[in-house]
Amino acid sequence: MKTCPLCKGSIVNGVSTFTVDLGFGVVVVRDVPATVCSQCGEEWLSDNTAEKLENIVETARQKHVAVEVARWSEAVA
């Protein structure tokens, strides 16, 4: 099992909520797969997940919406 570099707690598979302020609007993606420290709650995303999030944010930026809320499973389908 991995150990958190911040608090030495256990790192486990979990989910996160990803939020970006675009200035003109906000993007929220729920249930994003992440590794999460069971003690301090720090979260890490894989490179693949981060790339998909960048695509979701860019799509929202192009639509120029005030609020975009998506669930991970629906956003990457």
Mind listing the pLDDT tens digit for each residue in 13-61? Answer: 999 999 999 999 999 999 999 999 999 999 999 999 999 999 999 999 9
Extract the tokens encoding 63: 């639509």
**8 A C-beta contact, residue 1 and residue 11:** yes
Confidence (pLDDT) at 76: 79
Confidence (pLDDT) at 1: 64
**Span 11-75: which CATH code?**
3.10.20
Residue 9 CA from chain centroid, whole number: 21
Is the predicted pLDDT of residue 77 greater than 80, yes or no?
A: no
How confident is the model over 2-15, as a mean pLDDT? Answer: 95
For the CA atoms of the chain, what is the radius of gyration?
A: 14
